[in-house]
Amino acid sequence: MKKSLLIGCFVFAQVLVCISPSISQRSPETIARLIQKSTPDTSRISLLLEAAMSYVLRAGNLSSDMDSARSFVSRALQFNSTIKSIEWEGKCFFVYSNIFREENNNQKGREYAQKAIENLSKSGKKIDLANSYVELARYYNHHVDSELEQKIKLNEQASQLFGEAGNKEEQANTIKHLGDLSILNGNFKKASIQLKEALKIFKEIRFEELQGVYDLLCNVSRNMGNYTEALQYGLLALKTAESQKDSSAQLSAIYNHLGATLYYLDKFKEAANYQEKGVQVAVKNHDTSDAVIIAHNLANAYISVGEAPKAVKMLRSMENEFKLHALYDKISIYTSLLLGYTEIKRYDSAEIYFNRILEISTTKDVMDPLQQDIYSSFIKYLMAVKRYADVDRYCAYHEAICYKYGFINKTTAMNYRYWYKADSAQGRLDSALIHYQRFVTLSDSLLNEAKSRQIAELQIQYETEKKDNDIQLLTKQDQLQKKELHQASILRNVTMAAVGLLFIVLILLYSRFRLKQKANHQLELKQQEINQKNQELKNMLAEKEWWLKEVHHRVKNNLHTIICLLESQAMFLEKDALQAIEKSQHRIYAMSLIHQKLYQNEDLQVIDMSIYLEEFIGYLKDSFDTNNIEFIIKVEPVQLNLQQAIPVALIINEGVTNAIKYAFKNKQHSRIWISMTETDATVKLTITDNGSGFELSEENERKSLGMQLIRGLSKELKGTVLIDAKDGTKLSIVFKKGTLTDKIPSLQEDHIG
């Protein structure tokens, strides 16, 4: 999306290490003492290079640190002159490259990086050679196309060497960086493949800090128009960052990309919430460039919810507070201000920023990716001030860039809409029809990808009606085109026949003009009809969703009323009856919480069991004395429908409640494990404790209502239940996950005894 947010995270992550050993954790003073005690062989050379790298990697860029580092490398080369090792000479050249790069002497640094590669190629040390390729790649500028290609080639060589050497983590890091570079190169399909390969390797080695990979996959999926997948990766990135307590620039990038995805799904308020957090993180980290980039996207969200004055105020504040030296920072602020002033119809102020951006745009190639935001802002402004010829030109530029770099999104569709309106205003009916059809086709494609399955039935109905209208419109267009061709033929013949027939030609031209007016009027009527039907569909959907939420809310309230009645009754009951009432309260709460989660969710048919179980287990812990019991919960984000979620919740209630009450008798280190996983649409629920276990027999099961409930509910799920009561109790249930339209029969008395 934005270059500084894409590449910035990797540049810091790829801080190069001294080839042997890795990044030094010891101070230069400690290493110096070790050097004095070392023998004059390769171990001393290794310590000298480690000392040099410790100075290179120090905070800041003091010349005294670089002089000290250079002195240690010089001593290492002197010792190596006696053993004449090509390998260690290459490692010395590698450290020299790091020193010169820190001093911004790129020419000398590149020479030593190339020398390191020449020596290490002969030594057979693949990891050392791979690190040298990465070091050389850092001298190439990813903003220059020719250098970007060379940077990619060097990292590909490094990735292959890391893989051959078995260094999975560095291989995955390099492939992840290649995916980042492919994004900058506009090759989103290749970037997606590379990032998923890196993610696979990271998972194989159980690497936990995956938020960077998820964030890049979110960005790639969004730019490819796959908003559903982009949202999934964005939420995974945020969840992982929070679990890792990441508050770096990576977190601001995650907020920004997640907000941008929600923006393209028309969730403008939610997008603004995330991007406001992104700006806060960037400002807290003193990262002006990232703050400006996220503010650009935040302004678009404000404008989309009718808060253009708020967007203008924020942008003007940033323009005055930050010094906008970077070209992209200027483009981000100026284009957003142009759109904001255009939205509030302050065209005199908008013209000032239009001229500023035009001055920048003329210095760039018309197909430069940076021009995408520029052209998009130009189109909206020029349309507002009725400069239709300029709208045509910038729409054509914008279309070419979008298809070259794969930026096919909502903005692309909206610019087709502006294009068709500009054509209509200039009387170019044929061109207007073409651009209108492209707008409708692309909008439908994006809408079908972004909308949830809740509106599938209405969508089919809408598409059917729309196709009928399209067929009628195409029939009329065909008839109109035949008439125009016939009239054009008559006009040519009359013109060639004689000048005396000019009067007839003028009559025909006037007739043609009238036909075009009529056709344009018909197009406007069709557009109004389509807009009216779209609004009707939205109103119907909103009404149905409201009623469904109200039903779940009332069910939840009724269940809570029952719980309150049971609590009142419990005050007058003896021990056994009181326990029965308490068990019923837990079971009813399990069902009540399901309905509460449903009416709180946007998706009214699906429960995320990972969120549900966290709250429900917390409720059980509060209901019993569990201070000496450790709960270990590992639940994947399994999505279940209402018919399966309630039986699963009741099973968990029975299993966990029994474990809390009966499994531990004055036992230390008491633990209860709850896990839920999903593999190939098969869900496995496991509840385990390290208690004393119990005797598993048919007589015990007949006497236990809880056991009968578990088996009866498992039968309702059409699942398999396994119980192991030796050395603790392990309850496992495996069942097939149902779809949203699955209907499981109601719980019958004969199933539970």
Percent of the chain clearing pLDDT 70 (strictly above) = 81
Q: Is the pLDDT assigned to residue 427 strictly greater than 90?
A: no
Residues 175-226 have pLDDT tens digits of 999 998 888 887 889 999 999 999 999 999 999 999 999 999 998 998 887 8
Supply the angle between the helices 327-343 and 288-304 in degrees, to the nearest 10. Answer: 20
Distance CA 657, CA 620 (A): 7
Q: Which residue has the higher pLDDT, 667 or 204?
A: 204
Report pLDDT for 182: 87
Q: Are 683 and 617 in contact (CB under 8 A)?
A: no
Residues 254-300 have pLDDT tens digits of 999 999 899 888 888 999 999 999 989 888 888 888 888 898 889 88
Q: Is the pLDDT assigned to residue 708 strictly greater than 90?
A: no
Angle at 345 between CA 341 and CA 348, to 5 degrees: 70
Q: Are 373 and 411 in contact (CB under 8 A)?
A: no
Q: Are 715 and 751 in contact (CB under 8 A)?
A: yes
Distance CA 666, CA 693 (A): 14
Q: Is the pLDDT assigned to residue 464 strictly greater than 50?
A: no
Report pLDDT for 750: 38
Distance CA 207, CA 199 (A): 9
Name, in order, each residue with C-beta under 8 angstroms of 316's C-beta and a sequence gap of 6 or more.
337
Highest mean pLDDT among 457-471, 675-689, 733-747 belongs to 675-689
Q: Is the pLDDT assigned to residue 321 strictly greater than 50?
A: yes
Report pLDDT for 234: 92
Residues 584-617 have pLDDT tens digits of 667 677 677 766 766 666 666 788 888 888 888 8
Confidence of residue 9 (pLDDT cuts 50, 70, 90): very low
Q: 């170019």: which residue's tokens?
A: 428
Report pLDDT for 557: 61
Q: Is the pLDDT assigned to residue 731 strictly greater than 80?
A: yes
Helical H runs in 571-641?
Answer: 575-600, 609-623
Report pLDDT for 14: 37
Report pLDDT for 632: 92
Q: Which residue has the higher pLDDT, 419 or 225?
A: 419
Amino acid at 146: S
Ramachandran quadrant class, 512 (left: phi over 0; alpha: psi -120 to 50; beta: rest) = alpha
Distance CA 647, CA 653 (A): 10
Report pLDDT for 213: 92
Q: Is the pLDDT assigned to residue 458 strictly greater than 50?
A: no
Residues 532-561 have pLDDT tens digits of 888 877 766 665 565 555 555 556 565 555
Average pLDDT taken over every residue of the chain = 80
Q: Are 381 and 354 in contact (CB under 8 A)?
A: yes
The token pair that represents 706 in the structure block: 């809880």
Distance CA 386, CA 231 (A): 37
Report pLDDT for 132: 92
